[in-house]
Structure 1
Amino acid sequence: MKDFSKNLEDAPILNTGGLSRDMGTVMIVAPHPDDETLGCGALIAHLRAQQAEVWVLFMTSGEASHPNSSAYPPEKLGKLRKNEAVNACKILGVSKDHLIFLDAGDGQLASYSEANNPVVAQLTGIIQQKNIDTLFVPWRRDHHIDHVATNSIIGKAAEDMKLIIAEYPIWLWKKGKPEDWPAEGEILPFRLVTDSVKQKKRKAIEAHVSQTTKLIDDDPEGFTLSPELLEPFLGDYEYFFFPSEAKPAVNISYFDDLYSNDDDPWDFETSPYEQKKYNKTLDAIPERNFKNALEIGCANGVFTALFAPQCKRLLALDLNRNAVESARKRCSHLPQCHFMKWDVANGLPSSDFDIIILSEVAYYFEEEKLQVLFANINDALAPGGILVMVHWTAYVRSYPLTGLQVHEVFAKDYSNLFRLINSERQELYDLVVWEKQ
């Protein structure tokens, strides 16, 4: 859409350091050799630097890029482009034994889109065998017949699997029409910083010699990646479109597993990132002496201890018993602190609060239950009360919502009842402070 470029500029950033954890075992699906590097080169390089398992599946060998060449007829060109793909992936950190060439026919993929096609069944078997958690495929309206067909084929092959299918644009950048761009709410856009792997990606692109040079000089109509076509792939970011469809809520066993062997599973106590975020949060809270405060999701009480001096009474809740006991112990010198093991999905334990802290919690809820939680928060806050929300904005495949989605849900339903008094977007989190009118 015409305004979608602005959405991309403001899109949240993927957590580079945690890509392996967030994405799991990854498969990049490329219609032709070079698509994997153009659309996902930095992603692959970052993942492999973290020793993540990455597979690259090539639907075709790209043998039709120079159809009129006598020096490089289709069979010879296909072999050349396969070798180029091997070289490019080696530069990015993926060895030949993690490459799969389907040889389904350059320009012929649309004929394999039927659900009962043998190619679909073959792909289903490959995806299952490799235990893939996240698939990256071309954008569904990528303005190239093979790219659109690849998206459709993979969608059918993975239809009944519990995995994430993310999309990457290639032809959309220079060939896309307004109707080819994502519609509002159709997807969740994210950016990946290329920084330390930018030069590695450039070298991988250059490894596709037949597509980036005049190696094949006897076909004036043959395809070449001109500087203009390459421009979107050599910048500071790669762009990915993740599914916007709802995912199931995180259940209590998730937290029980986290706390079973570690009383600080997110490194709240030692992480410089967390300390900076806590300081930003405290700075954003109005300077008041709060008589009755509520913290939802206190974890092991690191932030609780920092915030408590501003409160006459602070009730801190968490779903996990070990976390509550750890927080109680940490804050034992603060008599204003009270702790409860409590599931806020079942309501809030009290009301008439003059401040509620909701930090790194709400994206665990499905939207319908999140709306109930927000309604309960609204009811529990006294007039003039403060709601502080801080949430991680990077993509996590196991979370039903992103942090930005959480904040958008609240703004959509409650901006007429609350006044926004502070808002700050950092690279990996969003901080908003509302005052009930």
Structure 2
Amino acid sequence: MQAGALDLPAVPESTIATGGTIIVLAAHPDDEALGAAALLARADEWSCQLKVLLFSAGEKSHPESPTYTGDQLKSIRLEEFDRALSTFDKAHSSRFLDLPDGQLPEYSSQIRDVIRHEIARSHGPVTLVAPYSRDGHCDHEAVGAAALDIGRSHHAVVLEYPIWFWHWAAPTDPRWQAWRILADPQGLDRNALLACYPSQTEALSDQHGDEAILTSAHLEHFIRSHDTFVFTDFRSGAASPSSGQEGIGSRINDASTASAVFDDVHRERSDPWTVWDSEYEIAKRETLVSHLPSTSFSHILEIGCSVGALTRELAAYSVRVTAVDASCEALKTAKRLQTTTATEIAFLHATVPYEWPEGHFDCVVLSETGFYLTRAQLQRTLERIDESTPSRFVLVLCHWKGDIEDWPLTADEVHDACLDYWPRLRTDFRSEAEYRLDIVTVDKTDDFLRAEAVE
């Protein structure tokens, strides 16, 4: 991110209210040092009460380590966390919540409750500092999304700090261009601070599985003389324009908010996308089901069924269909319009990937839903699919190619990520027009070779 990242404007002077409380949230030990070192070092400037909440010990940082167990890594990382915080002169309180590393999205309600509790025990205006809610790591995103949710309801300032974003994002990504920076105070030694975390910056041993997590190239983003923040000001009850080009909606809408968003949409109109009557929607469904490689699946999973139009079509191709959606209002319509069929159809309320239906599925359909997920949420969805499918199954991806406002991903980003997840697959059908449709057979066995795409 050398293409102007060093020239971003400063965080406005009025961002942090004097005499208030700064609550720094960290998904793992070292998040706070990587993302909010300048802020931690400058807390005295605002005469603020400073609190640091650590949600997991990051014990899964080296899952294949031959030299350390998860419990040993937990102890090491917590010691490093305490050592790093002790380098700051500002008096602070810290609290460790002991949630499981890699599973924070499943504890989103608890994370929100903890933040609310800390705000209730704080004095003055509150500033929430959290990992970026679009960071590409499920734990970072869970904490960031919680901060935004609580920040909005409590009319607080929220500062999100990117960590893994710097690793995967391209210099041309427009999001960082609207962010703000907070300069280091005199005397802050970032190299010394990061040296408090040798389990992350250095190899644990010379054995495979003990490699350093933070490479020198990645660390370059954190030894600069400032923090970088996404700045959202909820103090007036609405996001400040300085939130940036992505807009407040595009940063807070994802799987964690989908239920509320789509309940509102379906309350306004029972069929908001006119899927039952639209010639486009009808033709799209006909194309999808006519190119399924089988007419006799045992159990189809449809992720994001909305009012059940595609569900009805899929029922002709399977003994069972489980259709899930985040919107209770959409499911009410789907159940009301359900017709009698020999196929067993179950409409379930579930927010993917946090909730997942029981069953073993030989066909999974992800239609017009993937772009509502962040990268980390999509990755977790693919893991869930992999866990609940046999060695060979059919994956159906179908998404509109137009611009999707206020949501994380595009059709191509969704499809490419899904198709890259499994190394061995055969393309049964692919089409790109107004929408992109990919139907593939995934084989998890070793004797299956990727086939050429069929247009």
The TM-score normalised by the length of structure 2 is 0.46
Greater RCO structure (CA 8 Å; 6+ sep):
1
The structure that has the greater radius of gyration is 1
Between Structure 1 and Structure 2, the one with more helix by share is 1
